[in-house]
Amino acid sequence: MNLEGLRVMGIDPGLTRCGLSVVQAGRGRAVIPVAVGVVRTPSDAELGNRLTRISDAVEEWLDDYRPDVVAIERLFERGNVSTVMYTAHAVGVLILAAARRDIPVHHYTPSEVKKAISGNGRADKQQMTTMITRILGLSEAPKPADAADALALAVCHCWRAPALAREKQVAARTREFKRRLEQRSKQ
């Protein structure tokens, strides 16, 4: 399935640093970088102010770049529950911004992204940054790591989108087939 031109916003969620990126699917596995950046919030600011800052930034990006889909890192507990909880607040704000625009959101675990980009689900930050720089043909590595992670999420979705679209088609056909079978059995 050809999804050339698909515009994907990748988001590496965080309350202190939130990586944002936009890429566009090209022909085959080619991906064209459009924008990358990081939203920062001061750790000593109140939670509401930090979330507002993240919300304003992502809303601006969504309006400026008009992505077709958002790819965001799936949260998982890494040992510090309070960090996960604060990040979850930011994720909620990010998903809400996309939902208000009817933009679908896909979630990927870090290991899924690492596997898609480097072939190794346990790749370290430096390997990921090197691979994303190479894949996108960037003249220099995106910094900080949150920016590179946001790009990796977007590229991961570009590469998985054709399979996801096929799965959706198969599911729709299966539902239609079952519906027809039920109609026939009622006759």
Return d(Cα 12, Cα 153) in angstroms, integer. 8
Distances (CA, A) of 95 to 7, 84, 98, 146, 186: 17, 16, 5, 18, 42
Whole-angstrom Cα Rg for the chain: 18
Q: Which of 85, 121, 92 is nearest to 107 (CA)?
A: 92
Phi then psi for residue 7, to 5 deg, are -105, 120
Q: HSE of 25 in the Cβ direction (CA atoms, 13 Å)?
A: 23
SS3 182: helix
> Do 104 and 69 touch, CB atoms closer than 8 A?
yes
Q: Is 73 annotated as a binding residue?
A: yes
What tokens were used for 130?
Answer: 């090197």
Q: Is 149 annotated as a binding residue?
A: no
Q: Which residues pair with 31 in a beta bridge?
A: 25
Q: Is 146 annotated as a binding residue?
A: yes
Which residues are annotated as catalytic? 12, 73, 146
Which residues are part of a known binding site for Mg(2+)? 12, 73, 146
